Amino acid sequence: MTDSAAQSAGLKIVADENIPALEEYFGDLGTLQRYHGRTLTRDQLIDADILLVRSVTQVNQSLLEGTRVRFVGSCTIGTDHLDTHWLERNDIFWSAAPGCNANSVVEYVFCTLAALAVDWRSRSFGIVGCGNVGGLLHKRLQALGISCAVYDPWLEDNPDASGLDQVLCQDIVCLHAPLVKGGSYPSFHMIGEEQLQRLRDDTVLISAGRGGVVDNRALLVEIQRGKRFTTVLDVWENEPDIDIDLLQAVDLGTPHIAGYSLDGKLAGTRMIREALCRQLGIAPLAVEDKSTGSIVEIVGDSAAELLLQMYDPREDDRRLRAAAAGTAPMQAAFDQLRKDYPERLEFSHYRTFIQVLEERQKQQLAVLGLACN
Ligand SMILES: NC(=O)c1ccc[n+]([C@@H]2O[C@H](COP(=O)([O-])OP(=O)(O)OC[C@H]3O[C@@H](n4cnc5c(N)ncnc54)[C@H](O)[C@@H]3O)[C@@H](O)[C@H]2O)c1
Ligand SMILES: O=C(O)[C@H](O)[C@H](O)COP(=O)(O)O
């Protein structure tokens, strides 16, 4: 333990058991107590100094009032589970991990298109929400010369900025907006009956922001009415108790794991460690991520085959459907899949020596992060 960390030791840190590498990143700062993210109660926090969460814990007055928690860190991009106004009014410092798993979500998008056998290189994209995730997707598409329209009401100076209706006319529509319920541009149910009816039958709709951005009931109704657009849902309303009829109706359904690369999860933990160190006024600890350095060699005859070797979302879809058909309640099964999620490395850990790919395909894969020799 460093001298400065030693001064801070003695803190009681209460942390979601699903945060990876807790011991490595926080063990030197005090006592670690793990909890189940969805069932944490105020009583478990009474004498805690630090609360570390993921997206499934609602952090608000009823959880924290009367406790001595002074720092809340969420190892996630999304912050809709934090009542940030209440935290700030009560001088509780909070931090999240912007962008930590953005690359993982972008890779999820390309792999789902490979799994659906969509030739995305000749199709146009529409992106709703162009922050760390949507912006990275947009950057990759631009680098590949793929036409893209973007809807983000807060974004200035983007040459591809369009209205939502224009974005919904594109061939592949990717939803990466956060869940916002108030203000000038709420995103809750922004994709409802009217918007779904605008999608053409050959549209691919990929939702990987937050479940509530799409009106799930309206989506099911549209599909049941015979709308034939292709639907990929990673995020759902009422997680973990998702609508099983909707799962059966979509083309690919995954249990909110688009951002679940090992790299993305560890980056979230590391960013919160850094934020806590800044708050405590101590130097950040250099911890080597478990994922760093591992390189996997793969071979395949096509870009799609290579993408699916790195990550095949059909496996997640199959596991989710099997869980829904099983005897355990959906809530428990959904959370268990996320807890037991297999290790997934990002494309930067892979290298291919394949010779048969055309130079153009190699360049495309390189833009996505796969090293081609
Ligand atoms: N499925 C997953 O595993 C996963 C992983 C990471 C993030 N997410 C979700 O994706 C969301 C976006 O992530 P990010 O890193 O890009 O966040 P970000 O905060 O960097 O960007 C969000 C963007 O959405 C825009 N936006 C806000 N309201 C909007 C609206 N009504 N319509 C359109 N755009 C709007 C903002 O202006 C911003 O540019 C997160 O808030 C999180 O909820 C999901
Ligand atoms: O907001 C995020 O970073 C992602 O949605 C994240 O992958 C959610 O994972 P969870 O916190 O639910 O484990």
What pLDDT sits at residue 2? 47
Cβ neighbours of residue 173 closer than 8 Å, sequence gap 6 or more: 125, 126, 128, 167, 199, 203, 204, 205, 206
Confidence of residue 302 (pLDDT cuts 50, 70, 90): confident
Cβ–ligand 1 distance for 170 under 6 Å, the answer no
Residue pLDDT, tens place only, 73-93? 999 999 999 999 999 999 999
Q: Does residue 189 have an active-site annotation?
A: no
Q: Is the dihedral of CA 36, 177, 110, 290 positive or negative?
A: negative
Least confident of 31-45, 102-116, 290-304, 328-342: 290-304
Smallest Cα–Cα separation from 148: which of 125, 121, 174? 125
Q: What is the pLDDT of residue 1?
A: 40
Winning range, highest mean pLDDT, from 43-47, 283-287, 357-361: 43-47
What are the DSSP calls for 141-208, one per residue? HHHTT--EEEE-TT--S-TTB--HHHHHTSSEEEE------SSSS--TT-B-HHHHHHS-TT-EEEE-
- The mean pLDDT value for 22-49 works out to 96
Q: Which of 38, 95, 101, 262 to mutate to test the pocket of ligand 2 (most atoms within 8 A of CB)?
A: 101
pLDDT at 243 over 60: yes
When mean pLDDT is compared across 103-117, 144-158, 162-176, 327-341, the lowest value belongs to 144-158
Which ligand is in closest contact with the Cα of 19?
Answer: 2
Give dist(CA 163, CA 170) in Å, integer: 12
Residues with CB under 6 Å of ligand 2 are 18, 54-56, 76-78, 101, 256, 259-260
In short, whether 233's Cβ falls inside 6 Å of ligand 1 is no
Q: What type of residue sits at position 142?
A: Q
**More confident call, 302 vs 273:** 273
Which parts are annotated binding residues for substrate?
55, 76, 260
- Tell me how far apart the alpha carbons of residues 195 and 189 are, in angstroms, rounded to a whole number: 10
Ligand nearest to the CA of 103: 1
User: Which ligand is located closest to the Cα atom of residue 206?
Assistant: 1
Q: Annotated binding residues for NAD(+), as ranges?
A: 152, 234, 259
Active site residue 198: no
168 pLDDT above the threshold of 60:
yes
Instruction: Among 95, 139, 154, say which to mutate for ligand 1: greatest number of ligand atoms within 8 Å of CB.
Output: 154
Catalytic residue flag (residue 256): yes
pTM: 0.96
**Does residue 3 carry a pLDDT above 50?**
no
Q: Exactly one of 54, 138, 176, 210 is catalytic; which is it?
A: 210
Cis upstream peptide for 20 (omega within 30°): no
Mean pLDDT, residues 94-100 taken together = 98
302 CA → ligand 1 middle, Å: 31
Centre of ligand 2 to C-alpha 70, Å, is 22
Taking residues 133-141, report their average pLDDT: 97
Q: What's the whole-number average pLDDT of the chain?
A: 94
pLDDT value of position 6? 43
50 touches ligand 1 (CB under 6 Å): no
Average pLDDT over every residue of 300-309: 91
239 CA distance to ligand 1 middle (Å): 18
pLDDT of residue 187: 98
Give pLDDT tens digits for 314-347: 999 999 999 999 999 999 999 999 999 999 999 9
Please give the pLDDT value at position 159.
Answer: 82
Task: Give the pLDDT confidence score for residue 247 in this predicted structure.
Answer: 98
Lowest mean pLDDT among 17-31, 32-46, 82-96, 285-299: 285-299
Looking at residue 289, its pLDDT comes to: 66
pLDDT average, residue stretch 157-175 = 94
**What's the pLDDT score for residue 364?**
86
CA of 264 to the centre of ligand 2 (A): 10
Across 230-243, average pLDDT: 98
**CA neighbor of 26 nearest in space, from 64, 52, 3:** 52
- Give the pLDDT band (50/70/90) at residue 198: very high
The single residue of 256, 270, 319, 344 carrying the catalytic annotation is 256
| Catalytic residue (one of 107, 237, 239, 346) | 239
